[in-house]
Chains A and B, each alone.
Chain A
């Protein structure tokens, strides 16, 4: 009886965001929509006049938009890691954060694709990428792998949501028709459950493999040219590590906001931020290792064209960006994440904001300084992005947050079924008298298992 009561209470809290909408939500949405409108105005301006409204030039022909492309695709690796890997290693603490992570993945991918389309000189010809596809081009490999990743992640997100949607369907309400269609006749029989488990496990493996290939292929866009500092094999694992790095930071930030705005303190606990914070710390160290390897080999090799770019980053025109990146990606997050005392919700959130901005700068300093190299026999030009480029970046980020917020209003952002499953597993184990299992995280239980 008590168990049923706890379960009903739990569902009520988790479904609260879907049922009620407060004033904060509407205020936030208004601000986001305003930013999106600014971005749209900027893009329409660009569509009508041409890419000349940016500060791109004959020499620096790739800038903010390509940075955004790599950045958003990077963030989309959050889902693959958290959801799929943690599921495969059976980490129980993942349960409250899986859905948010997958949602971040799907929406981030959308804006990665959007950024590339925004960058095209003739976006009206974008379907030529399909119609006249040339498979020798790394951009085509990108098209294929990103499309595959988007499809796989969307399917993964959807099938995980089916039991929850059946729950919402059974409760009725104004969107009952939507949940009815989407739940595909789920009745929770053990046969259906087994099937769902099998498919989910299979998709988890697939998503992890695809995620690694996606960002490797994104790096290949640069690696497959012969430009100095781009034509480096290390860029492939560097990009994958950087993607996971920025992805985890985004998850931490989104979780912190979700927890605060929807009062989900009983479900999203400091332990989650602690564990994600440790992950972030590991990735920060990986990032540092790759960066060190790249620059040390450059300096030691002392090749003139590469050194020109190296100095422009360390002491020249791009020094502010490079050093800001280093401070934001490493110097600030490392002490915060290294000590348990500062690895709190606030601490990890601060570190995450720092990492997200730092990683955007990292993409920028990979792309732009190489294009100002002297090898191209062109006069040196500066690149200072215009209001159009910044507005479009602001618009994309705002739209991404808006889509996430709209999602939380239609579907529960914490997977009710995953939580129930976790609880049942824990109860089953504790009934077997296995006391040593008490140390496992049990989200949703506000009783004695404080961690």
Chain B
């Protein structure tokens, strides 16, 4: 059977173009655009969960760790005891590290070292989501960046994508290191990535996130950006807020009142 070379090349070209069409459209789609459209007001459930951390009310400088403990206890986060392998969903870091480019030379005393609470920002344009090769992480319809622990292959590309260092990896089996097992939340295996999930399981029951509820100073304000009358929208209207690395275009949903 004799094909002319021309016919073969035409068929091959069309075949490749056909196969490449969908993947190409995927690549060129704005990351998170589909999910963001669903999360925007008026579409899907229409919620946009966000958090404001009031640094003036937060007493982390007095050694308070109530929020971190509540979070880690609720979610079976193991206590590994060393800096290298530790898993943390919510923790504090010095101001100069959290906002490195907003640090004037002669700033207020003690501010540079004061502890700032950091967590996953659940960005509107998450750089971690678009680099995951298996779609184990995605932005759900309420704006929460989720992880499927059963699909994650542990390549850690999402950790490279996140400019905030919000994600942790299970370098070994975490189960022996969980101090107080919460039967209502799954544990993870070794080899997968995890991070703050805005307590999606508590939100489903109408509860506030564990850290927000636990804070004795009410320094954490959690609400729905899609609702113009929500507490978080009120704070943004009335007080000056800053974000971590806004210039990177990730559109984080965690704000800080300094």
Chain A interface residues toward B at CB < 8 A: 49-52, 55-59, 61-62, 116, 119-123, 125-126, 128-129, 131-140, 143, 221-222, 224-227, 304-305, 374-379, 381
Question: Other CB < 8 Å A-B pairs besides A128-B136, A381-B84, 6 of them?
Answer: A51-B172, A52-B85, A57-B84, A122-B153, A131-B134, A226-B127
B154 touches A225 (CB 8 A): no
Given contacts A132-B151, A304-B101, contact A50 B163 (CB under 8 A): no
Docked pose: A58 CA to B88 CA in angstroms: 10
Q: Could you tell me if A129 and B84 are in contact, using CB atoms closer than 8 angstroms?
A: no
What size tier do the contact residues of chain B reach?
A: 35 or more
Q: Which residues of chain A have C-beta atoms less than 8 A from B134's C-beta?
A: 125, 128-129, 131-134
| Measured CA separation A119–B160 after assembly (Å) | 14
Nearest first, the 4 closest Cβ-Cβ pairs linking A and B are A121-B154, A121-B191, A376-B165, A52-B171
Contact residues of A: prevailing secondary structure:
loop
Residue of A nearest to B128 (CB): A225
Verify A227–B153 contact, CB threshold 8 A.
no
CB within 8 Å for A134 and B133 given contacts A58-B84, A120-B153:
yes
Sampled A-B contacts (10; CB under 8 Å): A50-B172, A59-B84, A116-B155, A122-B153, A134-B133, A136-B27, A137-B131, A137-B157, A376-B165, A378-B97
Task: Verify B98–A61 contact, CB threshold 8 A.
Answer: no
Q: Hey, which chain A residues are within 8 Å of B61, CB to CB?
A: none
Within the complex, the shortest CB–CB distance from A198 to chain B, in Å, comes to 9
Q: Decide yes or no: A375 and B163 within 8 Å by CB, A50-B171, A58-B169 being known contacts.
A: yes
- Which of B140-179 touch A at CB < 8 Å? 151-157, 159-161, 163-165, 168-173
Residue-wise interface mask of B (113-149) relative to A, using a CB-CB cutoff of 8 A (1 in contact, 0 not): 0000010000000010011111110000000000000
Of residues B26, B31, B173, B191, which shows the largest number of chain A Cβ atoms within 10 Å of its Cβ? B191
- Whether B152 lies near A122 (C-beta < 8 A) is yes
Give chain A nearest CB distance to B186 CB in angstroms: 15
Closest Cβ neighbor of B159 among chain A residues? A61
- Pairwise interchain contact B154-A129, C-beta atoms closer than 8 A: no
The answer to whether A225 touches B127, judged by C-beta atoms less than 8 angstroms apart, is: yes
B160 & A225 in contact (Cβ 8 Å cutoff): yes
Q: Which residues from A are CB-within-8-Å of B27?
A: 135-136
Check: B86 CB closer than 8 A to any chain A CB: yes
Closest-CB distance, B27 to chain A (whole angstroms): 5
- Does B100 touch A at the CB level, under 8 Å? yes
Kindly list chain B residues whose C-beta atoms are within 8 Å of the C-beta of A129: 133-134, 153
- Bound-state Cα–Cα, A224 to B160, Å: 10
Residues of A within 8 A of B22 (CB): 135
A305→B161 CA distance, assembly (Å): 16
Which one of A49, A51, A379 contacts B83 once the chains associate, using CB atoms below 8 Å? A379
B42 within 8 A of A: no
> Would you give the shortest CB distance from B227 to chain A, in whole angstroms?
30
Pick the residue among B132, B168, B169 that contacts A137 (CB under 8 A).
B132
C-alpha gap A131/B193 in the complex (Å): 19
The distance in angstroms between the C-alpha atoms of A133 and B151, with both chains bound, is 11
| Residues in B whose Cβ lies below 8 Å from that of A58 | 83-88, 165, 168-169
A305–B103 CA distance with the chains assembled, in angstroms: 13
Q: Are A126 and B165 in contact (CB under 8 A)?
A: no
Do A125 and B127 touch across chains, with their CB atoms under 8 A apart?
no
Q: Residue on B with the closest CB to A144? A: B23
Q: Are A377 and B171 in contact (CB under 8 A)?
A: no
Residues of B within 8 A of A119 (CB): 155
Q: Assuming the A-B contacts A121-B153, A125-B151, A136-B29, are A62 and B131 also in contact, with contact meaning beta carbons closer than 8 angstroms in the complex?
A: no
Instruction: Say whether B248 faces chain A, with CB atoms less than 8 Å apart.
Output: yes
| Residues A61 and B23 in contact, CB atoms below 8 Å apart | no
Known A-B contacts A49-B172, A61-B169, A121-B170; A139 and B100 likewise in contact (beta carbons under 8 Å): no
B220 → chain A, closest Cβ, in Å?
Answer: 18
B190 within 8 A of A: yes
Partner of A134, one of B84, B132, B152, B248: B132
**A221-B155 in contact (CB<8A):** no
Q: How far is the CB of A392 from chain B (nearest CB, A)?
A: 16
Q: A121-B153, A225-B160, A377-B93 are in contact. Are A56 and B26 (CB under 8 A)?
A: no
B192 at the interface (CB under 8 A from A): yes
- Chain A residue nearest to B150 (CB atoms) is A125
Chain B residues whose CB sits within 8 angstroms of the CB of A376 once the complex forms? 163-165
What is the CA–CA distance of A52 and B118 in the complex, to the nearest angstrom?
A: 25
Closest chain A residue, CB of each to CB of B82? A57
Tell whether, in the assembled complex, residue B101 and residue A128 are in contact, meaning their CB atoms are under 8 Å apart: no
**B160 and A50 form a contact (CB under 8 A):** no
Contacts A58-B84, A133-B134, A224-B131 hold; do A121 and B157 have CB atoms under 8 A apart?
no
Is B192 within 8 A of A121, CB to CB?
yes
